[in-house]
Structures are given as structure tokens and as C-alpha cells.
Structure 1
Amino acid sequence: MAAFDYKTALNDVPHRPGVYQYWDAEGVLIYIGKAKDLRNRVGSYFNSDNQLNGKTRVLVSKIRKITFTIVDTEIDAWLLENSLIKRHQPRYNIMLKDDKTYPWIIIKKEPFPRVFWTRKMVKDGSTYFGPYASVGMMHTILDLIKETYPLRTCNLPLTIPNIEADKFKVCLEYQIGNCKGPCQKYQSLEDYEKNIEEIKQILNGKIGSVIRDVKQIINTAVAELNFETAHQYQKKLLVLEKYQSKSTVVNSSITNVDVVSIASDERYAFVNYLKIMNGSIIQTQTIEIKKRLDETDEELLSIAITEFRTKFNSTSKEIIVPFELSITDPNLKFTVPKLGEKKSLLELSQKNVMFFKREKLNQYEKVNPDLRTERILTQMQKDLRLTQLPSHIECFDNSNFQGKYPVSAIVVFKDAKPSKKDYRHFNVKTVEGPNDFATMEEAVYRRYKRTLEENQPLPQLIIIDGGKGQLSSAMTSLKKLGIENRVTVIGIAKRLEELYYPGDSFPLYLDKKSETLKVIQQLRDEAHRFGITFHRKKRDQGTLKTELENIPGIGKTTADKLLRHFKSVKRIKEATEAELAVIINKTQLKTLTEYFNEHAE
């Protein structure tokens, strides 16, 4: 197949904002992108091959034709890209996972309008509010309206001529107080429409102005000694204030603002959207985006903002974002707040998106546990600056008792889980006295000398339980074996959970809640447990041997024989003379029996 002549194709691409499209040899549209400068953006795919990730290189290898659409502004490119991606769904574009039909609250265009919810928008002149990503929030608002404003729910044609002709009778809704009976002229059209206007203000997030109007009515009614009206509106005021206290999150001066935040990993991104009117959240939604080409958070956030503003018909001039976006539009302001109420709003959005991400990933990982393993290992590779996934990790720990009975233990994790069949103990052979550094050097040398002799794979990561001294000792052994550049080695200091790299005097501090640190701590704690268990066993055996060896006529060899056979002094004491006679001679048997009798409790 002939190579694509991208240089000739680039000559036709202008330095203008717009949307570009890549096509493969079969004429299939495989990618759509936007750019502030089409020539520069398209050229970057072909001029920086070494900087591209694997998926993008595959995409570039398939390109056989480039087309583009010029627009006036970057914002226009933004909107057009979103529209084309939805229509064509190219293979290499991200996938927005949001196929729900969201409900709306409708104020029906008719005499004495009804207020209800619907999932179908019809262009009949009615007024729609939404859509509502949270059905619970929508029903809360409808309950508020129903409790505060008695409206009709029937679908009777309540035209003035029909009402004048007395065609209708009041129903049960009127009898129980849910409707004021406009069908029988018990409620005027003017009064009904005043209620509708207040409902519109509530749905637009302007509940504060409605509360002020209600308070004014109450004060006027009290001044005129109209206590019945004052009592009715007082009940309405309580309902409105109760709803406002639940919905207001910041100062009501913050109005008509969008808030977006993002959380992502190697495969997915999650974006949360909040719509703020007069300090109240009136819309909220979180969407999931499946990555295709290792897109940046900035690219994903830009796409999600377009999606949200289109779906929720947002006209906000200000968007609160977690970081700067390279989008310029004189009619749109992007704010990255540092302090105050806008910062609190951004933090609220971030809490929502982190919760959504955690829940979604938990769902995926329950279905496919390998996803969790891959995620943890990928995060460890990123946090620890490794060149490969740490699928095989080994951790060393030393134990001794006042310099006696020194042992070293190694535990092995494969795919972030303990591989207990690969755990090993080392009885220290070359070290005298309490010398942790020499003990570590011996254990590491013996471990990997045998690994190389048996042609076994080396781990991707070695963890040394200890600070810079133990780490340096481990590196000495690895250098003797010539493998210091084939594995990554880190030391973990217990006090502050500091991570040290060879030759680097400054420690690395990981977030205390990070999964990478949790895996390292689990390795360290498991190595300590495994090592201390072996150490105690050896120490106990040593103490018992000393006790037996102190018996006249029982030497080290005899003590070893007895403990190997009976396992403990308690069992030796409980053994019969016939059982003991199998191991020791008659003189030793008499001496042992007399000793135990003298020291019986």
C-alpha cells in the first residue's frame, strides 16, 4: 500500500480555526478533531512521531485522506466537532457513555396551564425546564410546586367560553384542596397566571425573589388585618424556605454559572457538571468517557463542556473549571477559582466526580478483577517512575534479637497479590553481631545469585525495608552480580513512610491514601510478619537448645536430636522412657529424667 503523502495534503490545510477529519484507505471516517489552527494541529500528527503514543501512531498509519471545515471561531469548531462525533462516531474518537433520555418539567401552552414532567419535547409553544439528570431532584421540585401552588391536573379545555357556558364541574382535586376550581370560576385567570409566573421563577432558580414577594404579601395582609390570607401565605413561605435551605449552596449572588470537573485514569474519564442559578444547583450530571487515543484531561473537558451546554441549553457566560483551558471566546469566561465560594463550588463538583469514578470502577472491577490489577500496577508504574509494570515485586526484611538469631525474609507479590509459595527465609551465615546492613547485603546477594544461576526472571521492583543504609547495602550486592541496572530498587523508611531511590538523598512522599503506598506497606508488613515468625521460631529453638544443653550429659548434638524428633521440650517431658530410649542411651535417659523431676512445677 502506498504511503500517504501528508506534506502535499498539508499544503491545502489553512491556518484557520476549524474541524479536521481523517479517512482510511476504504474511505471510512476514522477520526474527527478540532483546532484553533488547522495546519499546525494536523501537522503535529506527522512531525512528532516519537512523541505519539501507540494508539495515535496506529491512527496516523491508517490515514489516507484529510478533509476539513473552516469556521469563524474556536467555539464554533468546538460545537461542530461535538456534533460530527455524535453523528458519525468514528472509531478513534472518545466514546461518551450517556444514552439516557432525561426528563423535563413542562408548563403546557394552554389556558390555565398544567405543570408536569415529560421525556418527550414537542415544539408546541410550551415552556420546558431541564433536562434533569437527577429524577429525584425533578420530583422534589414538582412536590414543592404541588404543595405550594394548587394547580389543575385535568386535561379539560378550560377556555373562557367553555367556563362561561358552565360546561364543567369541580372534581375531587378541588374538594381535597389540590385545585382552586378555575373550571367553575372559583379561581381567576389572573391569579392562576400569577402562580405560574412564580413557578417559572422557581424553575429558573430565582426562589429568593419569590420568597421576597410572599413576605411582602404577608406583611400587607397583616397590616390590613387579613389574617386568613396571611396564614395561607405563611404556610407557603415555610415550604419555600425549607426547599431553599436544602438547595442553596453558596451566596445567591452567584447566578447563571456552569461548573465542571474531571477525574481520569488510563482508560476512562469522568466529568461532572453543575448548573448554578442564584446560589442553587438546578442541574447536575456526571458522564463517563472511554478514551481512545490517550487524550489529555484538557481535551476531554472541552468535549464534555460542549456536550453539557448543548444538552442543558446553557447560556452561562462563565464556566468554573479546575485548570486553564486554551479556548478563547470573548463571550465566554473560564474561571479557575483559588478562594471563596466559587472554589467551594468547584470542590463540590470534584467530590461528585470522584465518588462517581470510584463507584463506576468498583462496578467494572467486580465484573473483571483483572481491571483492578491493571489499574493498580499502572498507577504504581506512574507513581514510582518505573519503565515497566511492576507485575513481580520482592520485599526484604531483617530480624534479630540483641544481635542473636539474625534472619532475613523475602516476600513476593505477583500482580499486586501475595505469592506465598515464593516466600523465602535466609539464615544469616556470614554476619556476626547486630549488623542490619551486612545482613541485608548477604540476603540480597544470595537471593539473586541463585535467581541468575537457575535462570529465573528478575522482579521489576525490589523493596528494601529500611532507609538509605539498607538500600545502599542491597545495591552493593546487585552491583557485584551486575544487575543493578536491570531492576528498580527502593527503600522504605518506617517513620514517615519515606521512599528512597539509590543515589538520591531526597525522599519521595506518596499520598497517604494512594493505592501505590498501600501496596508497598502491605509488602513491608507481610515481609515483617513472615520474618518475625521465622525469627521467633529460631529464637525459641535456640533458647530450648540452650536449656537442654545445660543438662549434664546432654550436649548440642543430643539436644538437636531430641528437638527434631519431639518438636518441643513439653513433648520431651511428656514422652515415655521407651520413646526417649529410641533417641538417647540409658545414661542420658537417667540424667534427663532426674533433671525434669527436679525442675517439675
Structure 2
Amino acid sequence: MFDIKYNISILPESPGVYIMKDKDENVIYVGKAKNLRKRVSQYFRKTQNHSEKTRSLVKNIIEFEYIVTENEIEALILEDSLIKKYQPKYNILLKDDKTYPFIKITINEDFPRVFSTKNYIKDGNLYFGPFPSINSVNEIMSLIRSYFLVRSCNIHIKDGVKSCRPCIYYQTKKCNAPCYGLISKEKYGEIINEISDILNGKSKDYILNLLKEQMFKHSENLEYEQARDIRDKIEGIKLIFEKQSIFSGGENSEDYINIFRYDNEACVQVFFLRNGRVVGREHFVFENIMGDNDEHIIEQFIKSYYGGTAQIPSYIYSPEFLDKDNIEKWINIKSKRKVYFKTPKGGEKKELFDLVRKNARVMLDRFKKNKYLCSVDRESDYLNELKDILCMNSKIDRIEAYDISNISGFDSVGSMVVFNNGTPNKTQYRRFKIKSVQGPDDYKSMKEIVSRRFEHALKEIKCIQEGELEHTYGKFCIFPDLILVDGGCGHINAVEEVLKSFNINIAVCGMVKDDKHRTRGLIYKNQELNISSELIKFITRVQDEVHRYAITYHRSLRDKRSLGSILDEIPNIGSKRRRDLLMYFSSVEGIKKASIEDLLKVPSMNRSSSESILKFFNKSKT
């Protein structure tokens, strides 16, 4: 047993980070301290003076760890890193999942794509940003596509191979059509290097002078069309540099942060100013902030927000908070330049600061209204009822539901949907193509998909523990509080058998239907539970969603198989010609309508094979 009193007595009186854990060894809180012994001991003294949130935290602490640092700044940096890694329940977190857009160049492809994305992944590609709003990225991307003609499709293109005919983007002069071999890999690479140089912020004059030299050379050689194209590109680059200077953090960049609070909910609003112009704004709503004062919320918000992907401006205007000096030193280290925290006292900056607070109030009011309209409170009631009838000790935050779909065992697939706090989380949905089961065996299929899900989870957890993967990048490492399966006792037993083999303890319920195929209730531990009509409505939503997701995937596989089956029946059409035909015409309907002249345009087709297709489809019509 962990002796809390003894372990507090041997804590060093040094700066550091403390890590609180619950009975399941989950990290539930991470904090920093100037004096570890003094700070940690405060949690276990006079608990009646603590806020409701702190009392709840202390009640769940079974043990703690600590890491000593040289100073408070090191402790702050380490605290930020550990909060990101563990996402502790009692820390104030940016749960809105608002990430900021990047411009991505896929340099690991022969013909790289340039597009905007909110997902920053360490995949060897180039990322530029983040930008304060999607509108800023869209403006820059529009200029890049207009003047550089790079592709935006997902087609796999190999140098020198005509994989398909040019699309509408080529016809409207927005792409160089590398898919049809109209530009070499080397020439396309030069264009990508130019875009990369611009987004990297290389010298504007240097790039423009190089292009002007090329323009004059073409003009001297009487190559006026090429000279005109470069002239237009020069104008486009000037515009891109202008946008970059507006949207990037520099000497004239400012962020205004303010907060509005009502009871246990608060909204933090951020306005982004670049060169005196508001270029974007964001808001973040925090719930269940029992006992946290505004100063603490602002301090935690700044650490979470600027510790993530947000751009760091030169000036940050915010309400006063306690640890201002240390956070200013920390953010200077992070941004590698001087950043100033200020609180406006008067003038135009104070007026804008007050306007940010008014916007925070409006957004919180809107959030509360939407919360009421979406019946989030009622969904909490459903989850509480579910928790009570299953005799569970902890709150149900995450539900995973599974279903199998097939026709006579063909194209058998499985689906997994996720509900967080009673709301679908579609980014967490997963689908599985059944690999090991032949024929219509739902129980074995269910065992396969659940086994694969938790095998992935255990591998990810191992990688996270060994430092090979960050917690936020894991796709399966978060376990559900409850598993629902579309079926009865047989399906439940199949899942429980898998969980037992992995030594995982999670409650499993079956969602059963009546004779009219309507959701009737839940089966748990071989007994059908007596549940309210309101909870049945919630279970119906879950059951319908997991079934919809499974059947959609099944139909897509079936349609692909049907497509292949039609072309398989045509004489003289092998796998290469099938592929080329589908790449060129995109669908069987397109192939049906094609003339013999159209068919002969496909690289691998000859007159004999083209006539076979015409004959086949004409025969099928009769």
C-alpha cells in the first residue's frame, strides 16, 4: 500500500512536478510546484476549505509521483509536456479540439500535392503554419493554385505514366496535369521548391529577381507566352508574400484574450490582430470548473493554448494571473524571441479588450442555448441511469458499439462507433474488413474485430510507455467505459471472451430488438434490463448509428465487387485493361457509353478488345 503521509514527509523542498494517480494507476492530475513538499501536503490538509473540484480530486488520489527540476521554468515546461501526454481528468484542458490549419506539401510523392490540413502528423512531409484561421489559408491556397498550377487530387501518379485523362482543373487552367504526363517530375519539382521557398519566408527580393531574370531571357528569345506566364507568377508571389506578412506572427502581431464566466462554465475568447487588422478569432468553453478562479483558468488556458500549435505573437493582452513572470519566460523559450504579456488599462486597447470579453459572453450564452437544444443535460441523465442500472462505480464517459454486416457471409465487415458523453464522436469511428472468418458467422466475426481493436490498443500503449508514440496520436489507446454490441447473449459472450484473454475488465451489454425490429432493451449478465423509455431512445440512436456505419461499408465493398464482376465477364479484358478502363472512364456507365474511338484512346486497348466491349454491352441491352 502507498503510504501518502510517509511519502509527503520524504518529498524534497525543491521545484518540480507532481503526478497524482487513482486506484487504476491512471494519471488524474499534473501540477508544478516551487516547493514540492509544501505544495503536495496542501492537498491533504483541511480538505473542508478546498473547492468541490479539489475535494473530488483528493478523494480519488491513491498515490503520487514527482520529478525534481532545477527551477520553476523547467517545471512549467515539464508540466506542459506531461499534461499533453496524459490528458489528466482534473486539469483544465482544451477539449474543444480546435486545431489550427497548416499548409502541407506531400514531398514523399513523385508529384507532391499542396493543400490545407488541421492534422499535423510527423510523416516526413512539409508543414507550414499554423495560421490563425482557415480563411487565411484559403486565400493563400487560392493564389498558389492560380499561379503555380499544382495538383489537388489524390491520384497516385508515377513519372512518365499516363494514368488517366486530364480533369476539369486542367481544362480551367488550375493544374499542369501530371496525371497525363504533361509535365515532367523535374519541372514539377522546381515549382514545388518555389512554393516551399515562399512559404518558408525566404527573401522576397531574391525570388522575384530570379523570376525577372527568367522573364527577360524569354522575352529576348521572343518567347512571349513564357515571359507572360512568369510575369503573372511574379504578381501572384507578391500577393502571397503580402498575405503571409498579414497572417504570420511578427513585430506587429497581437493576441487579445479575455474570459466570461457563469457558475461552473466559462468561455475564453481570443482575437488575432496582425498589422492592426483582426484576421481571426476563436473561443473555448470550459465546463465543470468548480472552484477554479478566473486567474487560474486564464493561466491554465495560456499554457495549454500556446503549448500547442497556436502561433505565438509578440504581444499577448490578457487579464492578470498569478504566475505571469514564469509563463513569460517559458513562452520566450518556446518562441525563441521576446513575447510580452500585458493587461490593457485604457485607450483603444482597453476598448478592444472589453469587446473580447463581450464576445466571450455571447459565445457562452450561445453554448448554453445549444446545450439545452441538443438535450445534453438529458443525455447525462441517460448515462447516469445506465450507470446506476449496471451498478458501475464511475461515470460513463465513452461508449463503444460494435456491429457485423454481410450477405450470406460475403463482404463481411465490422464497425465500431464511439459516443463521448452521449454524443457521437465520428473522428473515433473505425471499420474492419473481416479476414479470418469464412461464411456468415457473426460470433467469430465479432471476436475478430474486438480482438483487432484491443491488440492495436495494447501495442499503442506499449509504444506510449516506451516513448515511441505520443498519447494524442494514438487511435485505439483510449479504452471505453462500456461496450454495446448489436445482438444478444452469444455476441456478448464472444466479446467477453476476447476481453478476458487480454485481461481487460469492461462491462458489455447487448442491444436487442423486438419482433418488429425495433430496439427493445439491453441484456447484461444474461438478463434483460428494465430501462426507461428515454434510455431506450438513446440506445436506439446508438444501435442505428453502428448499424448504419457497418452497412455503408458493406455496400461500398459489394458495389466494388459488382463493378469488377461485370468487367470480368467481357472477353479480351484482363486485369490491366480493367484498371486502365476504370481509371480513364471512372465508371462502368462511362465505359458503356463510350464509342470505339473513345475506347481506343485508353493506352492498353486495341481494336479487338474495344469491339469486345461494344459487343458485350450491346448484347446485354437486348
Shorter-chain TM range is: 0.3 to 0.5
Give the TM-score taking structure 2 as reference length. 0.45
Greater C-alpha radius of gyration: 1
Report the TM-score, using the length of structure 1 for normalisation: 0.46
